[in-house]
């Protein structure tokens, strides 16, 4: 089955700096790669996703890049703000659903 | 649309008790999932369903059962609760095929003492 590795497990950045979270996947048939943000005590919510026919997608301060050959994809957050503090999960699709990474705890230092 | 709803929000069980966690979605989604999330950890798939009458095991199915008699409802049954089942349980649904956004319910926080 699909295996998704996510790094780092914890990331601390100064407010205003950029943050990058990386994921690798194992199944070359995966073609959908979403990123979810989970604030403390809340449900995971989709923030951005990318499909295999696209190499990069951007939405304001958030961007995702995909390298299908290398089987890795990354989340980039620029100009980080206090409200970006949360746990971020990457995921890769398989036939019947998604396999999630273990999550990255992003801490924004004032 | 209410989206994905779950009841109850919180529950405390004694060891050996049973209960059913309810999940309902009003988006006419075919795919539904149950995950558990232990403190500080990621999401582990318990069971899933690709449509009414069809269910399948995920990564951690032991101690749980599901049914899917309608498109809207996907209840999760815990039999003989154990402390290891203390967790937050999330239900999710997807429409138009599995390669789309999963919408999560607000979760049920379960403690087994």
Quickly state the pLDDT bin for B35 (edges 50, 70, 90). Answer: very high
CA torsion, points A85, A99, B40, B48, in degrees to nearest 10? 120
**What is the rounded CA–CA span in Å between residue A91 and residue A5?**
9
Sorting pLDDT into bands at 50, 70 and 90, what band is B77?
very high
Mind listing the pLDDT tens digit for each residue in B79-92?
999 999 999 999 99
Residue B20 · residue B110 · CB < 8 Å = no
Q: How confident is the model at residue B39 (pLDDT cuts 50, 70, 90)?
A: confident
Task: Give the integer Cα–Cα distance in Å for B54 and B95.
Answer: 16
Quick one: average pLDDT of B57-71?
A: 96
Interface of B with A (CB under 8 A): 31, 33, 41-43, 45, 48, 50, 56, 90, 94, 98-102, 104-107
B100 has pLDDT over 90 = no
Judge contact between B42 and B36, C-beta under 8 A: no
Confidence at residue B110, expressed as pLDDT on a 0 to 100 scale: 98
| Whether the predicted pLDDT of B29 surpasses 90 | yes
Distance CA A67, CA A74 (A): 9
pLDDT the model gives residue A2: 79
* Disruptive mutation site among A1, A36, A44, A57 for chain B (greatest number of B CBs within 10 Å): A44
Q: CA-to-CA distance for A104 and B26, rounded, in angstroms?
A: 31
The 8-class DSSP code of residue B101 comes to P
Q: Which of B31, B41, B105 sits opposite A97 (nearest CB)?
A: B31
Assign B96 a pLDDT band (cuts: 50, 70, 90): confident
- Taking only the tens place, the pLDDT of each residue in A57-104 is 999 999 999 999 999 999 999 999 999 999 999 999 988 899 999 999
Residue A4 CA to residue B17 CA, distance in Å, equals 35
Distance between CA atoms of residues B40 and B90, nearest Å: 15
């Amino acid at each position: 089955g699909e295996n998704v590795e996510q790094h780092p497990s914890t990331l601390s950045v100064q407010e205003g700096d950029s943050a990058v979270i990386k994921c690798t996947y194992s199944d070359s048939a995966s073609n959908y790669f979403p990123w979810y943000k989970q604030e403390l005590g809340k449900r995971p919510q989709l923030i951005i996703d990318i499909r295999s026919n696209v190499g990069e997608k951007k939405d304001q301060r958030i961007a995702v890049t995909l390298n299908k050959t290398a089987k890795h994809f990354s989340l980039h957050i620029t100009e980080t703000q206090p409200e970006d503090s949360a746990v971020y999960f990457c995921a890769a699709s398989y036939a019947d659903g998604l396999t999630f990474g273990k999550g990255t705890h992003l801490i924004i230092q004032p | 649309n209410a989206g994905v709803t779950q009841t109850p929000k919180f529950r405390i069980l004694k060891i050996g008790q049973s209960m059913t966690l309810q999940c309902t979605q009003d988006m006419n989604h075919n795919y539904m999932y149950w995950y558990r999330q232990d403190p500080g950890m990621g999401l582990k798939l318990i069971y899933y369903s690709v449509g009414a009458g069809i269910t399948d095991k995920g990564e951690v199915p032991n101690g749980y059962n599901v049914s899917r008699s309608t498109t809207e409802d996907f209840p999760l049954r815990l039999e003989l609760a154990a402390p290891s089942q203390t967790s937050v349980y999330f239900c999710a649904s997807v429409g138009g095929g599995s390669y789309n956004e999963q919408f999560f319910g607000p979760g049920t926080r379960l403690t087994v003492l």
